[in-house]
Amino acid sequence: MAAWGRHFLLAPDHGGEYITAMTVGRRVDCVVGDHVVYRHAANGECAIERVGPRRNRVMRSDAFRQKIIAANVDQAAVLISGYPAFDEALLMRLLLGLTAEGIPVLVLVTKQDLTRTFSEVQARARVYEKLGYPMLPISALKDPDSLIPVRKRLTGKRTVLLGQSGMGKSTLLNALVPSAGQQTSEISEALASGRHTTTFSRAFLLDDGQSWLIDTPGFQQFELAHLSHWQLLHAMPEFRPYLGHCRFNDCMHHDEPGCAIRAAAEQGRIDAHRYRLFQQLAQYD
């Protein structure tokens, strides 16, 4: 239910109180959402022995290391906002990483009460809505009723909450889980994390007792070094109808003659800005 360093908070399958556990000896990598096997150690503490199979992972990676943020989720809720302005390249990386793992995505357009900035972000949001990503406008502070559709989509599911810093994630979490502040303090005390309460992932149970909301730290980068060029291509929904229709089988969809994807972007059938962002992501010159 929570992970900080080598300290974890577990919800036993048989129910009852949460327990704290540690990884000992050979390092065992586990994250919020994992199903683990633990044992009671001689000193009265609990030790995690192994991690069960994962059906999916929320993961980012650069050339040197991988970081798994959560596992075994049913969907992801990604927050974007007009103030501060969201980074579309970061949004696209998030969606590519989640799509490659087969994780459905719900995009929450926050701070709709800020009329000018909200109207600006809506124009780009519509592009993603047409690609099949559900978009819900919300204002957690000024319009509690705007959260009703969000609550419906969270019911009975494990949802990981993602977003760059400043998108209003904490405000939304507190609106959806009124006891989040108290739960966070209790988890922090259990894990002995002290002042690090905003830097670890943790799961909160919603009022129905069945739905999970997994909070994660905000970030400014989301690297995808673990994904191949083929995986990136297939995670772009607007590219899929044109794959296999280029003149050359080894087309990289950059400046090759007869590229069906580039032609679609030039003709307006693919959003030109997303096409340019993809080129940057694929590390073209």
d(CA 175, CA 109): 15
166 is in an annotated binding site: yes
* 146 annotated binding-site participant: no
| DSSP character at residue 255 | S
**Annotated binding-site residue? 226:** no
Long-range contact pairs involving 271-277 (C-beta distance under 8 Å, separation at least 24): 271/127, 271/238, 273/88, 273/127, 274/92, 274/127, 274/236, 274/238, 277/88, 277/89, 277/92
Q: Is 111 annotated as a binding residue?
A: yes
Is residue 280 annotated as involved in ligand binding? Answer: no
| DSSP SS3 for 251 | coil
State yes or no: 130 annotated in a binding site. Answer: no
Q: Which positions ≥6 away from 204 have C-beta within 8 Å?
A: 173, 177, 179, 180, 183, 212, 213, 214, 215
44 is in an annotated binding site: no
Phi-psi region of 262 (alpha: psi -120 to 50; beta: other; left: phi over 0): alpha
Q: Is 197 annotated as a binding residue?
A: no
**Encoded tokens for 116:** 């000018």
Does the annotation flag 251 for ligand binding?
A: yes
Q: Is 170 annotated as a binding residue?
A: yes
15 is an annotated ligand-binding site residue: no
14 assigned to a ligand binding site? no
Do the annotations mark residue 164 as ligand-binding?
A: yes
Residue type, position 145, single letter: D
Dihedral pair phi/psi, residue 280, rounded to 5°: -65, -40
Is 46 flagged in the annotation as binding?
Answer: no
Is 165 annotated as a binding-site member? Answer: yes
Binding region for GTP: 110-113, 163-171
Binding region for Zn(2+): 246, 251, 253, 259
Binding region: 110-113, 163-171, 246, 251, 253, 259
